[in-house]
């Protein structure tokens, strides 16, 4: 009885913090740290490179750098929020870039429309994701292993198809479209923005997003509530494959060639961006806004290092430090969240 009286008295004092917590959950609270990190990087950039860093062209460079990994990271955010991991996205990107630039595909694209190449890349990505999804959801293969196998196999298949050679994009209309800009902003950056915006809506405003959070947070509870957990898990990997296909198209536009080496280690960059952004690796909570910040932090870091002529190796060390720092902060946050 006394216990209940205490609990009954509690709501009055809890009214305000709960509203704050809601705000924090919405992203505002936790993203403050990411905004500060990004701002600090910019300050360092301006201090060390001045005008050379702080101009519109350089800003575009950073965004262009962020775009491909950014699209992959949006797909990765869904997979990780749903309690999985996808190591294959980088390889699948490479495979899709090859498949979309084979002689057959390009000839067909020349005859009809460049959209054929886009469609091919997206289809290759989605089918690769479907295979991952079936193996994981229905075959009960651990996600790490299933997608590791896909990572190796997709890269191999790409090499076989391309005979280890790069395939230049000859469809002029494809290059014209994807290498242009709209309102002074690159098409690639627009694609990233649109994918991120759609991803945000999908995760936060749709039944698909709610299922993702439920499946990642407690698959058994989700199943007993009537959610088709296996089918949804499969969809999540298909979504990641689809983003790998989109990223392949972007890669083709940037490099004007398909290559079996495209996208190498991109899966690691994507996972790093997602984790730094605040999505829980154990699933059940994900944030697209955080992921976008994570991607921007890493590409700004690369840019600042490049401007100062610092080596790629030094960049890697800094990246590693950021990942560990972010995860440590995340755990702190999680612990405090649990205890309240």
Q: Please give the residue ranges that form the binding site for another protein (CB under 8 A).
A: 1, 3-4, 7-8, 10-11, 14-15, 18, 21-22, 25, 205-210, 213-214, 217-218, 220-228, 284-285, 337-338, 340
Shorter beta-carbon distance to another protein: residue 119 or 208: 208
- Smallest distance, another protein to C-beta of residue 7, A: 5
| DSSP letters for 46-83 | HHHHGGGTSSHHHHHHHHHHHHHHHHHHHHHHHHHHTT
In the complex, least distance from residue 232 CB atom to another protein, rounded to whole angstroms: 11
> Closer to another protein at the Cβ: 15 or 111?
15
Minimum CB separation from another protein for residue 226, in Å? Answer: 3
Nearest distance, CB of residue 108 and another protein, angstroms: 33
Task: State in angstroms the smallest separation of the CB of 4 from another protein.
Answer: 6
Question: Residue 112 or residue 340: which is nearer to another protein going by CB?
Answer: 340
Quick check: 75 and 242 in contact, CB under 8 A? yes
Closer CB to another protein, 45 or 284, in the complex: 284
Reported for 141-148, long-range contacts at CB under 8 A and 24+ positions apart, including other chains, are 143/79, 143/84, 143/85, 143/86, 144/85, 144/87, 147/85, 147/86, 147/87, 147/88, 147/237, 148/87, 148/88
Question: Closest CB to another protein among 112 and 336?
Answer: 336
Report strand pairing: 167-168 vs 181-182. unpaired
Integer-rounded Cα Rg, in Å, for the chain is: 22
CB 242 within 8 A of CB 74: no
């Amino acid at each position: 009885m006394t216990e209940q009286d205490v609990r009954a008295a509690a709501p009055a004092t809890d009214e305000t913090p709960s509203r704050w917590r809601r705000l924090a959950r919405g992203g505002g609270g936790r993203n403050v740290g990411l905004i500060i990190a990004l701002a600090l990087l910019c300050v360092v950039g301006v201090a060390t490179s001045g005008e050379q860093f702080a101009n519109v062209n350089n800003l575009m460079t950073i965004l262009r750098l962020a775009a491909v990994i950014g699209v992959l990271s949006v797909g990765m955010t869904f997979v990780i929020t749903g309690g999985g991991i996808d190591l294959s996205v980088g390889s699948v990107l490479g495979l899709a870039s090859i498949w979309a630039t084979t002689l057959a595909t390009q000839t067909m694209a020349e005859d009809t429309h460049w959209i054929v190449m886009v469609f091919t890349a997206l289809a290759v990505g989605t089918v690769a994701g479907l295979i991952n999804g079936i193996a994981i959801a229905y075959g009960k293969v651990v996600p790490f292993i299933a997608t590791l196998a896909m990572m190796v196999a997709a890269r191999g298949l790409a090499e076989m198809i391309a005979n280890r050679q790069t395939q230049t994009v000859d469809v002029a209309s494809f290059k014209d479209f994807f290498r242009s800009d709209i309102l002074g902003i690159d098409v690639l950056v627009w694609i990233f923005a649109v994918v991120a915006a759609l991803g945000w809506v999908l995760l936060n405003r749709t039944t698909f997003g709610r299922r993702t959070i439920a499946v990642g947070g407690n698959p058994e509870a989700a199943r007993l509530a009537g959610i088709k957990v296996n089918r949804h898990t499969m969809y999540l990997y298909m979504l990641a494959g689809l983003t790998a296909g989109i990223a392949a198209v972007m890669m083709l536009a940037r490099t004007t060639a398909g290559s079996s080496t495209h996208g190498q280690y991109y899966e690691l960059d994507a996972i790093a961006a997602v984790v730094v952004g605040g999505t829980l690796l154990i699933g059940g909570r994900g944030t697209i806004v955080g992921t976008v910040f994570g991607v921007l932090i890493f590409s700004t870091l690369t840019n600042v290092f490049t401007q100062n002529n610092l080596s790629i190796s030094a960049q890697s060390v800094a990246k590693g430090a950021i990942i560990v720092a972010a995860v440590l902060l995340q755990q702190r946050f999680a612990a405090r969240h649990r205890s309240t």
